Structure formats: C-alpha cells, structure tokens
Amino acid sequence: MSVEFVVHPSDHPLAAAERAAILAAPGFGKHFTDHMATATWTPDTGWRDRRVSALAPFSLHPSAAVLHYAQEIFEGLKAYRHADGGVWLFRPEMNARRFARSARRLAMPELDEESFVRGVEALVRADEAWVPDGGSEHSLYLRPFMFAAEAFLGVRPAEEFVFSVIASPAGPYFAAGVAGVTLWISAEYTRAAPGGTGAAKCGGNYAGSLAAQREAREHGCDQVLYLDSADRNKLEESGTMNLCLITATGELITPGLGTILDGVTRDSVLALAPDHNLTPVERPVTRAELSEGCRTGAITEVFATGTAAVITPITAFRSPTDDFTVGDGAPGKTTLTLREHILDIQYGRTQDTRGWLHRVL
C-alpha cells in the first residue's frame, strides 16, 4: 500500500506579491496556503485517496458526526526555513504518535506514522513558497486534523473519517511574545479529570477552555492556568501550553503527565535542561507552592511551552484570591536562553545533536 500523497497543483495560487505581503506580517492562524492534504477512511477501505490539492471547503452533511459529538483530533507543528534555504520539521514523529494516541482515545481510526509525516511533507513541498524566511523567526504552522464525516445521529464511533493538513504562515502566538504574559488561575473552571480526554489533543478540550479563556481576559490576563479537577490544588496546564518552573536550587519542574497534554516542546525542554545546569523534574506542584515560591524567591522563573507559543515567559499570575509576580516581573534570563536554544535548533543555527530535525527540502 502506498502512503504517498498524490499532488494535484492548485490552478489558482495566490499571486506572489499578495503572498509576500502576508509573509511580511503573518500574525497567527489568519492566512492559509494554496493547498491542503487529505485522505479518507472507511472500515472497508482503510485509509485511501491520499492527495494534496487546492485548499477548498469541505462538503459535509448537516448530520456529520463531528458537528454533533465532536469526534475530532488535531496536531500542531511547524516547518522552519534554514539560512541555506532548506526547510525542516521538528520532531514530526512525536506529533504522529500523539495523533495516534488521541485517535485511540476518541475511538477514531489510527493513521500510521509514515502517512502522517508524508502528508505533512507533501503539503510543505507543494506550498514551499509559503515557508517564511527563517531570519524573521516566522515559520509555516502546520495543522493536521481528523474528523468524523459520517452522516448519522446515533452515538457510536463513526465509520467515515477525513484526515487533512492545512498550513498557515505564523509569527508570534502572543502579541506580547517574549515580553511575557500573565495567567489567570481559574477557581471556576477545570480542564480535565482522570479517565477523561485531557491527554488527547481533541477539539472538545479547546471548546471547553473558551469560557475560562474569556474569564482570564476579563481579568486582564492573556491565558488561563488550570488546577486539577479533584481538589483544585495542583497546577495542570495553561489553555494552550504546558507550564514549567525554575527554582533557586536549579530545578526545572513541570507537572507530570496524565491529564495534561504531552507537549513536544515540553519534552524537548526537559531534555535540554541539563545543558543549562538545570535538573528536570516531573512532579505535582501545588498552587500554594507556586504563590509562596514566587513570593519568597524559591521559584525564580516561570514559562510556558507549546508549538505555537514556543517558550513564553510568564511574568505574573492573578486569581480570585491573590495576585503575584514572578521574580521582578520581567522575563527570566534562563527562560530566554532556553527559548533561544530551542529556536537555534529549529532554525538550524546550532548543531542538532539529538537528531530532532527532519529535512523536507
């Protein structure tokens, strides 16, 4: 069985001048490239009709299962342009494996790792002109996703799925970027419970996060920080990012896996920590440990990780009961060094000693 995506080039690509104007200031998730990758699945055929074709709307029956029961998963990864013009992905196999885990949790068919990576590669090749110049630290954000397309209203796993990849040139996820962002510690909303879908990257988790995100905005914060659903005492993750703390004793602490997303950037930061004289530690962190640690100086820096957000300094927290800053309220030095380290690897400015980069072009 071939896992190749057959390319049918678009007959109406955007004019080069319009593309250049978008690439000069892409924002995040606002503009899309000329093509998309797709494949379809039914129990009888398995995955078939792998193709790259012109970006176009899907045609869905109003009863399509995804519209009612949210049987949908997605991923996020980026293509980086290196100084020599080459285009690379960062650890795409990690995304492929998490996609398969998410599919299992949502009772969806798994897409094999090779097809996932080939689909992403084929789209990047078709839309190479959309990969921004690496000097700007812009990238091409890739969004693989899968949804239940079968038309029926019974509640059971669907029997028809679409896999797709779309691409969007990307600048910083947060306007404040490396200047640092503020998190709202929600007392009202939680994100996930043991046995639930917290570790899966499914659209439903993000739909449930929007009210909390709005609450955070209403309190002047950029994002929400969730506490665990059992006793609302332990830190979980931020709406779109994993959380990391740096201590005065040289530990890089992040909440352990289970109900949070197994982030690729989180995993990479844990691996890079020893290069920065930090001991990586995965363990529960209480809300009191965070606030007291920030007040006493036992916690010196806090940052969040994610593909879209890269490494984003957290400079302050707000909650219904107290507000506190991290350090002197400025982005942490080690945070910025770690951020530079990971970007240097992604943009090919330093040696990739761990074999994390995957060449496309």
Q: Write out the residues near ligand COI by the rule CB under 6 A.
A: 76, 240, 306-308
Closer CB to ligand COI, 77 or 278, in the complex: 77
The residue among 289 and 303 lying less far from ligand COI, judged by its C-beta, is 303
Considering the complex, what minimum distance in angstroms separates the CB of residue 240 from ligand COI?
A: 4
Minimal distance in Å, beta carbon 270 to ligand COI? 17
Distance of CA 121 to the CA centre of its chain: 18
| Pairwise CA distance, residues 110 & 92, whole Å | 16
Q: Which two tokens stand for residue 133?
A: 């110049």
Q: How far is the CB of 139 from ligand COI (least distance, A)?
A: 11
Which residue, 143 or 287, has its beta carbon nearer to ligand COI? 143
Torsion angle of alpha carbons 95, 99, 100, 101, nearest 10°?
100
Q: Which residue is nearest to ligand COI (CB)?
A: 76
Least Å from the CB of residue 308 to ligand COI? 3
Distance CA 75, CA 163 (A): 11
Q: Which tokens in the block code for residue 6?
A: 């057959």
**For ligand COI, which is the closer residue by CB, 307 or 334?**
307
Nearest to 306 by CA among 184, 190, 141, 148: 141
Q: How far is CA 192 from CA 205, 257, 330, in A?
A: 8, 12, 31
Q: Look up residue 120 and give its amino acid.
A: V
Name the DSSP letter for residue 262.
-
Residues 344, 322: Cα–Cα separation, whole Å:
37
Least separation in angstroms between CB 143 and ligand COI: 8
Closest to ligand COI by CB, 36 or 308: 308
Shortest spacing between CB 306 and ligand COI, in angstroms: 4
Which run of H or E residues covers position 147?
strand 139-148
Identity of the residue, 212 or 299, whose beta carbon is nearer to ligand COI in the bound complex: 212
